[in-house]
Chain A
Amino acid sequence: MWSPSEIKYQGILSFIIHGILSPASIALLIGYYISIKLYKEKTNFKFLKFFSFKKLILIIKSNYKFDELFLYISLIMKKSSLFFSNKMDIALIDGFIVNGIPKRINILSSYLRTISSGYLYHYAFLIVLSLVIIFAAILVRIL
């Protein structure tokens, strides 16, 4: 493999000639000639009729549609940001888990508090009911 440092030019003249004869320089000269003819001397090149540059001009004029692409991506990013922020962080993590669990515990404890009615027969009934459930569970396991 060669590297740029290995290229050796024999003097400044050969370096300049090599530079001028490069494809880029030739393309530049041809382009310059055509543009002088087209825009300054208003020459009508017949061979150019075969080409249509309208679409190309439109693409160049619209900055290769880069602005549209940027706006489109921005819109997607903003929409995703709002969705994640509202539905995931606020609604799911904070609303359902962090604040939701204490809320549900509060509701459950408020409901369970109503069981403590102060009537003795309510407590007696609950004790008997609990015993029945415990014995039923034991019986199910034995049988």
Chain B
Amino acid sequence: MIDNILSMLIWIPIISGLLILFYNNKDSYLNIINISINLFVFILSIFLLLSFNKNISDFQFIENFNWIPSLNIFYYLGVDAISVLLIVLNTLIFFIVSLYNSTLNLTKRSYYYASFLVANGLTIGVFSAIDAILFYIFFEALLIPMFLIIGIWGGSNRIYATVKFFIYTFLGSILLLISFIYINYKISSFNILTIYDANFSLKEQELLFIAMAIAFAIKIPMFPFHTWLPDAHVEAPTSGSVILAAILLKVGAYGFIRYVIPVVPLGALSFDIYFIILSIIAIVYVGIIAITQDDMKKLIAYSSISHMGFVTLGFFIIFQLFESTLSHEDIIISLSGSMYQILSHGFISAALFICVGSIYDRYKTKKISDLGGLINQMPIYSWFFVFFALANCGLPGTSSFVGELIIIISSFKANFLYAFFASTTLIVSAFYSLWLVKRVIYGEINIEGEYIDANSLEKVILALLAFIVLILGIYPDYIMIFMNSTLENMTNNILTKL
């Protein structure tokens, strides 16, 4: 086992990102260096995955150091199964993005790469921090590279999109910081393990829940805090959109499962019905909005919000399951479904944004009405596009089917109406995804000029993502068994507090 593997995973990309800032933009080795660092971090995360003992539910690979003793803040790192899976998703997506970035013609290339490397390290920090303030620092610092990526390399309306994105998420972060300060005031600790054992009164739990839930609901984003995401996606460069959809949204979901539900379960129980309704609105309402979007990125952004609605639905129906079935197993299955949906959406949304990015790089348009008949000129690219569009609908055999099916089954056990409304996504998502395919891939050729099919690197990237989506869809057991012990422990903690 490598000592301090988590620190290495966090600091290698951050430090190399800062060093790359001073690198010559025109140097041909810059791409190789960037890809190598991301590949190394990915391999390190695979090593973490393989070394992780899935039968132990406690945090592993612990690193503890008294960072600011006067403020009771520790540099305390550790991972459980949930964190490990998210770290692997993170490093893989950043590696894929580094490959994709090497094909682009960019200004200030070294700054661009540096922003992504720093974001990579900070996200790993978010997923491995056990100290609440350390988590908050990584959580907040992640805004800086994202702000720069969208603000510098974004589209024409990038300033509006970045300011909106920053204000929205910053507003939520303030509430999160206040919650952590209050928790420390009550129990004199920022350590998440101590916080799990703490008993807050119902009133305290309700207030803490509202503050923390708003912070993470903005990040996911949940209805009605979702309007920053379509704007940010439309203006962000392709790689930025990939990171936003595949990684940044997952930070919000991770916050719910790590800091909200296990810390203040009584608060969550008091408000679960509202969050279930908001999740269902996100699934149905936002899915319907996606139908008439003319910008492909906006359509996929709305689709992401709709799919993330499943994640929050899976999180909050556990309280209804607890009241209706009293089954320990049902709660674990529901949480597993949400986690599966998080991973699945990470890969599918990344692939879809890369598909859109490839079109934009060639024809400088993301508008659906400008495109058409791509199957005639770009058959390989079209094959991948259709495959990921179908995976986005939840086609059986793909990863999204597993996650959505588990959550629909769980919600059926909680209440038939939840299951009914959640199931409508199968119709709505099929509607917007297939209509997108019909207009972009089939029909008459709208763009004149030379069509260039997917190049070798794009084929490798898309084939890799397609392979993962299929493997996760056909054999979900590995992930399920991997998470089981951690989720069982988490469920026990929640149930003892209820």
Contacts and interface: CB of A to CB of B under 8 A. Distances in A.
Nearest to B285: A84
B227 to A, nearest CB: 5
B424 to A, nearest CB: 11
Interface string B74-85: 000000000000
B320 interface: no
A61 B164 CA distance: 54
A68 interface: no
Contacts of B431: 74, 77
A89 B292 contact: no
A84 B290 CA distance: 10
Contacts of A89: 227, 289
A93 interface: yes
Interface string A80-102: 11101100110001100010000
Contact of B288 (A77, A93, A94, A98): A77
B293 interface: yes
Interface size class of A (residues with CB under 8 A): 10 to 19
Interface string B276-299: 000000000100111111000000
A78 B291 contact: yes
Contacts of A80: 288
B224 interface: yes
Contacts of B168: 98
Contacts of A78: 291-292
A28 to B, nearest CB: 34
B293 A93 contact: no
A81 B288 contact: yes
Nearest to A76: B288
A88 B284 CA distance: 14
A81 B289 contact: yes
A142 to B, nearest CB: 33
Nearest to A94: B227
Contacts of A93: 224, 227
Contacts of A85: 289, 292-293
A84 B292 CA distance: 10
A84 B289 contact: yes
A77 B168 CA distance: 30
A67 B198 CA distance: 60
Interface in A5-30: none
Interface in B158-176: 164, 168
A88 B168 CA distance: 18
Contacts of A82: 292
A100 to B, nearest CB: 12
Contact of A81 (B164, B224, B227, B292): B292
Contacts of B227: 89, 93-94, 98
Nearest to B160: A99
Contacts of B289: 81, 84-85, 88-89
B288 A84 contact: yes
A38 B428 CA distance: 46
Nearest to A80: B288
A128 to B, nearest CB: 38
Candidate in B224, B288, B428, B431 with the most chain A CB atoms within 10 angstroms: B288
Nearest to B223: A93
Contacts of B293: 85
Contacts of A98: 164, 168, 227
Contacts of A77: 288, 291, 428, 431
A81 B290 CA distance: 7
A47 to B, nearest CB: 45
Nearest to B435: A74
A94 B224 CA distance: 10
A89 B288 CA distance: 12
B162 to A, nearest CB: 14
Contacts of A74: 431
Interface in B246-279: none
Contacts of B290: 81
Nearest to B298: A85
Interface in A69-123: 74, 77-78, 80-82, 84-85, 88-89, 93-94, 98
Contacts of A84: 285, 288-289
B430 to A, nearest CB: 11
Interface string B431-452: 1000000000000000000000
Nearest to B230: A89
Interface of A: 74, 77-78, 80-82, 84-85, 88-89, 93-94, 98
Q: Give the 9 A-B CB pairs with smallest separation, nearest first.
A: A81-B291, A81-B292, A85-B289, A81-B288, A84-B289, A94-B227, A82-B292, A93-B227, A80-B288
7 contacts: A74-B431, A77-B431, A78-B292, A81-B292, A88-B285, A89-B227, A98-B227
Interface of B: 164, 168, 224, 227, 285, 288-293, 428, 431
Given A77-B431, A78-B292, A84-B285, 4 more contacts: A74-B431, A81-B288, A85-B292, A88-B289
